[in-house]
Amino acid sequence: MTLGLIVLNVVVFLLDRLTAVRHAVDVVTPVGVIRTYESVGGLSSGFSMIPVDVVHTSGGWLTIFTSMFLHANLLHIGGNMLYLWIFGNNVEDSLGKIRFLLFYLAVGAAGAGVHVLTNPQSDVPTIGASGAVAGVMGAYLVLFPNARILALVPIFIVSTLMEVPAVLVIGFWAVLQFLNMNWLGGGELRGGGVAYGAHVGGFVAGIVLIMLLGGRNLVDRRYSRRYDPDW
């Protein structure tokens, strides 16, 4: 299911790019006029989530789910899908395919909901699987806190690859999300347009939901099924 979600996100991203129309935009800078190109239309124009529409229109809530499969650019989808690949398969193994899919959609919706609640009058379109992926990371933190993750760690002026406990990697990421979130609203305007509220909402929802589903007992049952012939 994790691989299927990654493939679906990539396919939707490609369709979005193929159906968008590019047009030239001249930007005046101190060194002269620079011509850039913007993409207009595509799937993002009709299926992205706009908080004010979710609050005030009857069908706006559907975009909470459609926006999960849309991404702004290669860096956006690349980062989300990399994190989903790293953390998703183990969470899926603990939950099973169908429950993992429902879990993914639920935490993604929770993340979107927090973003809407903190920015109810925003008309800025919101897209991305970040809330759902954050929920998967929250679940991974509960299920495998002592697992070691290969990460790029800065040491003085250089960086090196090291195996770091999941609790440190995910914990550090989570702290950054909480610190950057604007708790009084307008969060979509901070950090270059990053909806930190969606990250925080998805992450907390992932922790709470995985605990309600059994927490570490899910891992214990998984290994019992795998190794106990009488299970």
Q: What is the pLDDT of residues 153-207, one digit of tens each?
A: 555 555 556 677 888 889 989 999 988 886 655 444 444 568 889 999 999 999 9
Name the maximum alpha-carbon separation found in the chain: 75
Query: Cβ atoms within 10 A of the Cβ of 180, count?
Result: 15
Q: Average pLDDT of the chain?
A: 83
DSSP secondary structure letter of residue 35: E
Among 63-77, 112-126, 216-230, which stretch is predicted with the lowest mean pLDDT? 216-230
HSE-CB for 99 with a 13 A CA cutoff: 14
Average pLDDT for 88-114: 95
* Residue-range domains of the chain with CATH: 48-227 (1.20.1540)
**Which residues, in sequence order, are CB contacts of 188 under 8 Å at separation 6+?**
115, 119, 122, 124, 126, 194, 195, 197
Residue given tokens 């998703």 in the structure block: 88
Please tell me the predicted confidence (pLDDT) of residue 22.
Answer: 65
> How would residue 81 be classed by pLDDT, with cut points 50, 70 and 90?
very high
